[in-house]
Amino acid sequence: MESLVPAAFFTFIALHIAFGSVGLVAFWVPVIGRKGGAAHKRWGKVFTWTMLATGTAAVGISLCTLIDPIGTHPHLVEAGPQWIRGIFGWMMQGLAILTINLAWYGWQTVRHKDDRESQREWRNIALQALLIAASVNCIVQAWLADLPLMLGMPAIGIATVATNLWFLYHPDPGPLMWLKEHLKALVGAGISVYTAFFAFGAVRTIPELALHPGLWAIPLVVGLAIIIHQRLAVARLPAARRPAREADGTDAASRA
């Protein structure tokens, strides 16, 4: 069984790189281009589906790591199996589920806009429960392995679920809140994939910097700046100043 794990691991790695590379590029077209246009919608779909595929491949990578940490990461043998399982098993699994959660949730917000009953479809709700479970597990595993670095993932995961559920179940979240949530989720997925690119990708090239907080901070700072800028732009739209029941979200989205 274990002899097959490294082969499966490298297959997942190849898929992760292939889909993730497309996602890294596709991310910027909706961010920089005209909002609501044909290119925005086309490349937004490309980004969403590549994030779902990238996250799924990352789950496979994490499972292979948990089964055979040394066989999948022989270059990190000195770190020991517990450290490898913690960082590249449990934490990567949590980040992968976070990426899938954000990509799917962000897609549902723009598909259904103010129709939050449709947004509360079973997969969207199941992903909130799955992310909470992964976050709590990551906290437990961080404590068992004495790896405080792992605590960043559950903090973001729990905050994500809290804000997602607030929007999904709030009786009146406000005008164009769906658009703000769409921005938060899809840019959040971008932060996740760029973090993986900088951090996990650096393990084989510049391992001394792979888990440095400064490297992790780059996509977080850039992503938060994009989210704040876009949310402020949405807040300035005329539709955002009208009562929620009167706001025309589709028209506003094209002008954001």
Structure tokens at 159: 């905050």
Q: Which of 30, 70, 66 is nearest to 186 (CA)?
A: 30
Domain range annotation of the chain: 5-255
Mean pLDDT of 29-46: 91
Do residues 142 and 148 make contact, with C-beta atoms less than 8 angstroms apart? yes
d(CA 33, CA 170): 31
Residue 26 pLDDT grade (very low, low, confident, very high; cuts 50, 70, 90): very high
What percent of the chain clears pLDDT 70, i.e. is strictly above it? 86
More confident residue, 15 or 241: 15
The mean pLDDT value for 16-39 works out to 91
- List alpha helices for the chain, DSSP H: 5-26, 28-32, 38-67, 69-72, 81-84, 92-112, 116-119, 122-145, 152-169, 177-198, 213-235, 249-255
pTM recorded for the entire structure: 0.88
